Structure 1
Amino acid sequence: MLRNVSVMAARVLRHGVIIYTVTFLFILPIVCYNKTFSFYFKLRDRKQQNVINGLIQKRNQAVKDAEVFFRTFDQGTFDTRLSGPGTTGNRRSNVFGTNRVPDIAVGIISVKREVFNSQYSHFQPKYVLEVTARLLQVLERMGDDLRTRITVFICNPQSDPDTNDETIMFLSNYVRTIHKKSSDNKKPWTSNRHDQEKNDYAFCLREMSKFGAKYTLILQDDAVIHWDFFDVLMHILGTKIEHRYERGELVKANASNLAYVKLYFPEKWQGFAWELRQMTELLVIGIAGGTILTLIYEKIICRPINSVQLRIFVLSLAILYCILVALSINRQNLMMVRRVSPHLYYIRDSPHCCIPAVLYSQGHIRDIVQYLESPDLTCHSNFPLDVAIGQYVDKLGLDAFLIEPNLVDHIGLFSTLHRGPKDPASFFEI
C-alpha cells in the first residue's frame, strides 16, 4: 500500500513539475506580456519619453474623435427645457435638462491645464472635450426615461466667461456651463495649488447641490466614464446601497448615512497586498481553484485518490498553483472578469485617496461644503483635498464606499498639481 502511494506521489510530482513549467515559463509569459501590472508585463519601449509621446498621440486622436462627435451631435435627442443656476450659454447649452428634479446631477470640473515641461510643451491638454463627448455618447444610448433623470453641466471655477479658454467656450454650446464670478469667491485666489483645488472643488460642489438632485456626481475633467457607467451605477445603488438582498429578497436599506461613493481608485494600488481583505481574496482563489483542479486531475488520470495524505499533497500543489497564477496575473487583471455583468461589481469601504469621480449623497453635501470653505482649513501636499474630505467624513461617522472595478479611466497624464508628467505606466489600458 505504501509503495503504491509512493509511486502515485512520484507521478503526481512529475505531473506538477510539467504543469508548473509549461504555465509559468511558456503560457503566462505569452498571455501576460501586454497585461499591465502582471508579473510578466514589459514595456516594448523602455524610454519614458517615447512612452509619454505615445500616450500624448493617443489623447490627441481621442480629441479628434470627440470633435467629430460634436459636429454630428443630434441635440434633438435631449430635452432642453430646464436652465440650471448660474449657467451661461444659449438654448443649445441646456441639454439634458428636464422639468423634474434630477436623480443625478453630473458636473465636470474643468480647470485650465498647462504643460510646464519643455519636452512636451507642444501638447495642449483638452481632456474635458474627451470627457464630455464620452458622457454625451453614453447618455445618447440610454432610454428616455433614464436619461431624463440625469442633468449634466460643466463647472468652470477659475474665471469669468470672457477670460475662459476656447474649449470651454466651445462646449458651452452643447452643455450648460457654470462660471465662477468674482462675487462667488468665498476665499481669495491662492498660489497654494492644493488649497486652490479645494476652493474650486467646494465652489462646484456647492453649485451642483442647488439642483436638488438625490445624488451629485463630480467628475474631474480627466475622468472618462466607461460605456456601461450608468448601468452599473444604477444597479449598485438599487441593490447594494438603497436596497440590499436579505435572504434572497431585495429590501429597502437605510442610506441616510451615506456620504459618498467613489468610482475610481488608482489601478497601481489595486493589486494584491498584505491586507486582510486582499489576502482573504487570494486564499479563496487558491482554495476554490485548487479544489476544482484536484477534481479535474482525478478525472484526467481516471482514478480516484483514496489516500488522505496523497489527496492533501495534490490539493496543496493545486492551491499553490492557483495562488501563484493569480499573483502572476495580478488582481487588477483578474478583476476585469467582473466587468462581464453589473451583478459582479461590488462595493467596499472607501480609502481616503483620490477623487476623479465621486458620487455624493445630497443629504451631506452642505456639511462637506461648509467644512471645505471654513477659514481654518488649508490643504497642502501633506494634507490634500481627498484626505481632508475622507477624514471629515470619518469624523462624522458617515458611510463611504468604493466600487470595484473602476467605472472611469483616469487620463490626466499632466496634472494641475504637478509640473511634470505622471508615471506613464499608470495610464496603460488593462
Structure 2
Amino acid sequence: MKRRGDAGAGGGGAAAAALLRLLRFLLRPWAQVLLLYLLTFGLALPLLCHDLRHSRYFRRAAHLGRLTAAALEESRARGEEAARYFREAEGEDEVEGPPLRPDPRSPPPQLVVAIVTTARGQGGEYRYYLQVAAAFHRLLRQCPWCRGHRLFACNVHRRPRQHLEALAAARLVPTAHRFEEEGEGEGEGEDNLFEKEKRDYLYCLRKALTAYGPRHVLLVEDDALPREDFFPVLRDLLERRLRGREGEPLYVKLYHPERLQGYLHPEPARLLEWLGLGALGGWLLSAARRLATGRWPPWPAALLLGLWAMLAGELGGRHYLLQLRRLSPQLYALSPASSCCTPATLFPAPSARRVLAYLGAVHCRPGYAKDTALYGLLGAQGEWALVLEPNLVTHIGLYSTLRGFVGSPASEPRSPLSPPFPPLSPSSSPLPPPLPFPPLSPSPPPLPGGDIPEKHGKLTEFDPAHRGHRPGHSRASVEPGGGS
C-alpha cells in the first residue's frame, strides 16, 4: 500500500512539474507568438470565415451554391419591387421630353448619371436595368443637394422597342435609343460584341455631353446597383477630394471586383497599405503585451506580431476591412486605378472629350475589351486615373451580355421565376413611346479641349417632393426640335 501511495504521489508530482514547465514556456515571447498564430490561423479564422465569399478560408464547395441562389432570389425580389416602382408612377408627373440643352444663363449641371442598357437574352427575369434605374431615381429624389444632377439612359439594344424595361422606365428616366437615330450602327458587325460594347459606351458618353454640357459624367452599366451612401460619398469626392488635386484624372472608377481587392495583387499603393496594417497591428499587439506583463516584446517577436496582422488581413479578406471606411464619406480611399472593370466610371467633362477621341481610334476584340483599352490609354497618352475604395456600386449581374451566365449553373434557384413583365409584344405594349432625342451630328468626336455642339430643348429637374421630374421647373423654354 505504501508503494502504491508513493507511486501516486510521484505521478502527481510529475504532472505538476510538466504543467509548471508548460507555464514557463508560455511566458516566453516566442511561445506566445506561436500560440497566437495557431489559435488565429488554425482555429478562429477558419471558424469565422468559412462562409465569407471574399475570404481565403471560404469553402467554395460547401457555400457557393447556397450564396448564389440567395443572391439570385434577392435580385429577383428587387426586380419585382423596381417594376412596381415604375408602374406606380403612371399617374404621377411624367417626363415631357428629354432635356437637351441647359439655359445658357444658368450654370451647367455638376453631374449627369448616364445608364447604358440593353436587353439580355438570359437573366431577364431579374430586371437588372429597372433595379438600377429605380435605385438612382429614388436616391436622387431623397438627396437634398442633388438638384443640379441629371439622370438619363441610353438604350443600345439593336431593336429598341424590344427592350421593354427601357420603355417602362422611360416614364421617369429620359431615354435615348441609339439604333433609332440616323447613321447610328451603320456598318457595325454583329460578330464582334466587344467593339459594339465600346461604341455603345462612347455613344452614351457623347450623348451626355451634347445633351447637358455637364461638368462631370458618371457612366453606369445597367447591372451596377448604387449603395445607399452613393451621393454623399460622391459629393465629398467632387467637392473636396478631386478639387484639391493638381490637374484632373482621365477617369475615376467607383467599382473594382472584390476578388481583385486582396493585398497580394501587385499594386504599389496596396502593398504600402498592407505594410502599414502590419506596422499598426504589430505595435498594438506589442502595446497590449506590455500592459499585461510590464515588458515590451523583443523586436523579432514584434516583427512576427506585425506579420500576424498582415496575414490576418489577407487571409480574412481585405474586402471586409474596407467596409470600416463606410463609417464616413471622408474615410473612402483613392488610389491609382488598374485595368478591370467599368460598371461605374466618373469622367470630368474635359477628360470625357479626350476619351471619345482616344477610344474612337482603337478597335476592341475578344481579349481587348473597352476596360483594357481605356486602361492602356493611360500610359500611351500620359494620362492618370483613380479608383475609389470601397465600392460605391454592387455588381448584381450574374448574366453578362457578352459571356452569358457567369455564376455556377448549379447555384441557380430550382423554382421557376416569374417573367419580367406581363406578356406583351412590342407592337401592343401600352408603354409610352421612347423619348425623341434628335440625331447626333455625323461629325467625328470632339477633339480634346474642343467645344460641345449645342442642341435646343427643355431642361427638367429632380424635385425631392415628387417621384418624377418637374416640367414646370424648366429653366429653358426653347422649343424642341429647333435648329442649333
Same fold (TM > 0.5)? yes
For the Cα contact (< 8 Å) 1:158–1:200, is it kept in 2? no
For 2:198, give the aligned amino acid.
Answer: K
Residue 323 of structure 1, CA deviation: 1.9
What corresponds to 1:362 in structure 2? 349
For the residues of structure 1 that align with 2:317 and 2:107, how far apart are their CA atoms? 45
For 2:302, give the aligned amino acid.
Answer: L
Matched, 1:321 2:308: yes
Aligned counterpart in structure 2 of residue 259 of structure 1, from 247, 250, 274: 250
**For structure 1, which segment, 25-34 or 195-204, has the greater mean C-alpha deviation from structure 2 after superposition?**
25-34
Aligned counterpart in structure 2 of residue 36 of structure 1, from 29, 41, 53: 53
Normalising to structure 1: TM-score of the pair? 0.80
Secondary structure in structure 1 of the residue aligned to 2:171: coil
Residue 406 of structure 1, CA deviation: 1.0
Normalising to structure 2: TM-score of the pair? 0.72
For the Cα contact (< 8 Å) 2:98–2:175, is it kept in 1? no
Residue 231 of structure 1, CA deviation: 1.0
In structure 2, relative to structure 1, the CA distance for the partners of 1:237 and 1:131 (3 Å cut) is same
**For structure 1, which segment, 390-399 or 197-206, has the greater mean C-alpha deviation from structure 2 after superposition?**
390-399
**For structure 1, which segment, 224-233 or 64-73, has the greater mean C-alpha deviation from structure 2 after superposition?**
64-73
In structure 2, relative to structure 1, the CA distance for the partners of 1:363 and 1:79 (3 Å cut) is farther
Secondary structure in structure 1 of the residue aligned to 2:219: strand
Counterparts of residues 30-429 of structure 1 (less than 5 Å): 30-43=47-60, 45=62, 48=65, 52-72=68-88, 83-85=98-100, 101-115=108-122, 124-143=125-144, 146-159=145-158, 161=160, 163-180=161-178, 181-185=180-184, 187-191=186-190, 192-210=192-210, 211-243=212-244, 253-255=245-247, 257-273=248-264, 275=266, 276-301=268-293, 303-305=294-296, 311-374=298-361, 377-422=362-407
For the residues of structure 2 that align with 1:390 and 1:264, how far apart are their CA atoms? 14
In structure 2, relative to structure 1, the CA distance for the partners of 1:141 and 1:354 (3 Å cut) is same
Secondary structure in structure 1 of the residue aligned to 2:125: coil
Secondary structure in structure 1 of the residue aligned to 2:347: strand
For the residues of structure 2 that align with 1:261 and 1:38, how far apart are their CA atoms? 26
What corresponds to 1:4 in structure 2? none
Secondary structure in structure 1 of the residue aligned to 2:399: coil
For the residues of structure 1 that align with 2:142 and 2:250, how far apart are their CA atoms? 29
In structure 2, relative to structure 1, the CA distance for the partners of 1:63 and 1:240 (3 Å cut) is same
Larger radius of gyration: 2
Secondary structure in structure 1 of the residue aligned to 2:238: helix
**For structure 1, which segment, 326-335 or 262-271, has the greater mean C-alpha deviation from structure 2 after superposition?**
326-335
Secondary structure in structure 1 of the residue aligned to 2:352: helix
Residue 198 of structure 1, CA deviation: 1.2
In structure 2, relative to structure 1, the CA distance for the partners of 1:380 and 1:73 (3 Å cut) is same
* Structure 1: 5+ residue stretches without partners: 1-6, 87-97, 116-120, 244-252
Secondary structure in structure 2 of the residue aligned to 1:334: helix
Secondary structure in structure 2 of the residue aligned to 1:304: coil
1:270-294 Cα shifts (integer Å, max 9, x gaps): 1121533333222211121111111
For 1:169, give the aligned amino acid.
Answer: L
Residue 422 of structure 1, CA deviation: 4.0
Residue 337 of structure 1, CA deviation: 1.1
Residue 8 of structure 1, CA deviation: 8.1
Secondary structure in structure 1 of the residue aligned to 2:397: coil
Aligned counterpart in structure 1 of residue 37 of structure 2, from 20, 31, 34: 20
For the residues of structure 1 that align with 2:183 and 2:329, how far apart are their CA atoms? 40
For the residues of structure 2 that align with 1:357 and 1:137, how far apart are their CA atoms? 18
For the Cα contact (< 8 Å) 2:377–2:383, is it kept in 1? no
Residue 46 of structure 1, CA deviation: 5.6
Residue 330 of structure 1, CA deviation: 2.1
1:226-258 Cα shifts (integer Å, max 9, x gaps): 111111112122222112xxxxxxxxx433x43
For the Cα contact (< 8 Å) 2:399–2:406, is it kept in 1? yes
Identity of aligned residues (%): 27
Secondary structure in structure 1 of the residue aligned to 2:404: coil
For the Cα contact (< 8 Å) 1:263–1:359, is it kept in 2? yes
1:104-154 Cα shifts (integer Å, max 9, x gaps): 011110011112xxxxx7x534100000111122112211xx221100011
For the residues of structure 2 that align with 1:394 and 1:424, how far apart are their CA atoms? 39
Residue 170 of structure 1, CA deviation: 0.7
Residue 71 of structure 1, CA deviation: 4.6
Equivalences, count: 383
- Structure with the larger RCO, 1 or 2 (CA within 8 Å, 6+ apart): 2
For the Cα contact (< 8 Å) 1:51–1:424, is it kept in 2? no
For 2:118, give the aligned amino acid.
Answer: V
For the residues of structure 2 that align with 1:101 and 1:213, how far apart are their CA atoms? 5
